[in-house]
Amino acid sequence: MRILECMYHQYLSCALGWLEIRATDRACVRVLFVDAPQGAERPNAITRLAVQQLQEYMDRRRQIFELPIEMLGSPFQKKVWQALLQIPYGSTMSYLVLSQLLGDEKAIRAVAQANGSNPLPIIVPCHRVVGSDGSLTGYSGGIWRKKWLLQHEQPWVQTKLDI
């Protein structure tokens, strides 16, 4: 991001609470979990597109995000975040498997740390990474949000009707 580049932001109220979406003129750069809107919105075309697509995701009408994103971080973090984009909707992967896919199973702690510092949660699906035993390990938005997101992505199951 260029130092003099304008930053725009917009809020979305959803099942996970309030989200603040930040963007430049070129890309969405940040999604934050916030307690409430903080000041007046300053939207642009990219924040509006991100809000629309996040709402579609919440309404189960979208599984893949199609908006310009810019992931601001170290080369290693960006490598991890790019790998997260390959985890399909409704699927999970362990930190160990993710580390192996990135070519170094011993980098599991560094992978977990990069996963936890993902600037675009939900859009870059860090919630899909779980412990090797399937446990829900840390999530920047709180474990309850991670659990909600994973359950949200599971296929709808018809319950048995007693007739």
The CATH number assigned to the domain holding 86 equals 1.10.10.10
Residues 148, 105 within the same domain: yes
Residue 97 counted as domain residue: yes
List, for residues 113-127, the tens digit of each pLDDT value: 999 999 999 999 999
Residues 94, 142 within the same domain: yes
Task: Give me the percent of the chain exceeding a pLDDT of 90.
Answer: 79
Overall pTM surpassing 0.75 (yes/no): yes
Range of the domain at 46: 8-58
- Determine contact, residues 58/73, Cβ cutoff 8 Å: no
List, for residues 33-61, the tens digit of each pLDDT value: 999 999 899 999 999 999 999 999 999 99
Residues 79, 40 within the same domain: no
Q: Which residues contact 122 (CB under 8 A, 6 or more apart)?
A: 19, 31, 54, 57, 149
Q: Which residues are catalytic?
A: 126
Question: In angstroms, rounded to a whole number, what is the distance separating the alpha carbons of residues 135 and 155?
Answer: 20
**Number of structural domains found in the chain:** 2
Residue 161 counted as domain residue: no
Residues 21, 53 within the same domain: yes
